Amino acid sequence: MNTAKNLLLSLALLPLATVAQERYMTRTGHVAFHSETPIENIHADNRKVSSVWDVTTGAVEFAVLIKAFEFEKALMQEHFNENYMESNTFPKATFKGKVTGISAEQVKKVGTYDVIVEGELTMHGVARPMKGKGSVVVDAAGLVKAGSEFTVKPEDHGIAIPGVVRKNIAEQIQVIVRMDYQKM
Amino acid sequence: MTKKTLIIVSALTVTGVGASIAMSEYSRKPETALEKTEVASITATDLLAAFVADEQAANAKYVGQQEQAIRVTGTIRSVGPESGGLVNVVLETNDAMAGIVCEFAKADVPASWKPGDQVTLKGICTGYLIDVILNRCGSVE
């Protein structure tokens, strides 16, 4: 069963009869992570993130394929998938939470809004609470661009970093989220 | 050349070659799908159907334990727009809500490609969310 699809569709396809709910969606969201140490910098991008945001309730969900993260160097990508994320066993990461600080009415108005994103991030099979600041930019064309940055500690998700490379990988990995939502 | 000099030169040569190999491996770029031998050939419609029917089995066959390329034939639903130097070509399936999303480097998308065209491409299958995702794609024509 595709739990990531179910997760997203459960939000996307909720009956519209109850309240005039407004939902926004992207299938090409961008999530990047960045690790910076004196020894080396590691960066990866995934531009195939699916997300649904119900601006009426604030509920938001993301699903990410771990193997869709692209690295500059093949060796980093192989270690990421095989040694750390174990992506054959845990092929997806998901986030389920809520965006606060912006109303459904504001999403229709041009402006930049500071928001808080709070919820549960499941990665490497381990769910942990996550809270971060973000922003939503609504432009004159009605495009809704949402972004957030937060940090993740690999050990919090049961990801063991061998001592021999511990100094190559930051204690706190920076995660950058950029979503260009379209109204459903 | 004395025996001592020979040993030193040999040791330096071995060290240099080793360092060169290590640096080459460290700097190695991820292969594109066109650089890999495909492990399967399938239509876009059948690929989505395989993931819908049994995601675990489809992951085992098309995503694989190690990164691998597959060949996919289908009809283009949409091309682009470009973002971050990449372009998504989406192939039609029997499900209007789902497609095969094929990520190309912008320079690798044939200029003639447009919606409705029948195309064949190779991509590295990374799995299934709402769509089936192929990365580092290339045209096979």
Task: Tell me: cis bond preceding B81? Omega within 30 of 0 counts.
Answer: yes
Chain A closest-CA separation from residue B127 CA (Å): 7
For B15-33, give the secondary structure using H, E and C. Answer: HHHHHHHHHHHHHCCCCCH
Chain A closest-CA separation from residue B112 CA (Å): 23
Residue B28 confidence (pLDDT): 86
ipTM associated with this complex: 0.86
Residue A17 confidence (pLDDT): 47
Among B residues 40-79, those touching chain A with beta carbons less than 8 Å apart = 51-52, 55, 59, 63, 65, 67
Cβ count near A86 (within 10 Å): 16
Q: Rounded to two decimals, what is the model's pTM?
A: 0.88
Over residues A130-163, the pLDDT tens digits come to 999 999 999 998 899 999 999 999 999 999 998 8
Beta carbons of A12 and A23 less than 8 angstroms apart: yes
Cβ neighbours of residue A143 closer than 8 Å, sequence gap 6 or more: A180, A181, A182
Residue numbers in chain B where pLDDT is lower than 70 = none
d(CA B36, CA A138): 42
Among A residues 144-163, those touching chain B with beta carbons less than 8 Å apart = none
First to last CA, chain A: 24
Mind listing the pLDDT tens digit of every residue in chain A (184 residues)?
466 666 666 666 555 445 567 999 999 999 999 999 999 999 999 999 999 999 999 999 999 999 999 999 999 999 999 999 999 999 999 999 999 999 999 999 999 999 999 999 999 999 999 999 999 999 998 899 999 999 999 999 999 998 888 999 999 999 999 999 999 8
Cβ neighbours of residue A132 closer than 8 Å, sequence gap 6 or more: A116, A117, A118, A148, A149, A150
d(CA A67, CA A86): 10
Over residues A39-52, the pLDDT tens digits come to 999 999 999 999 99
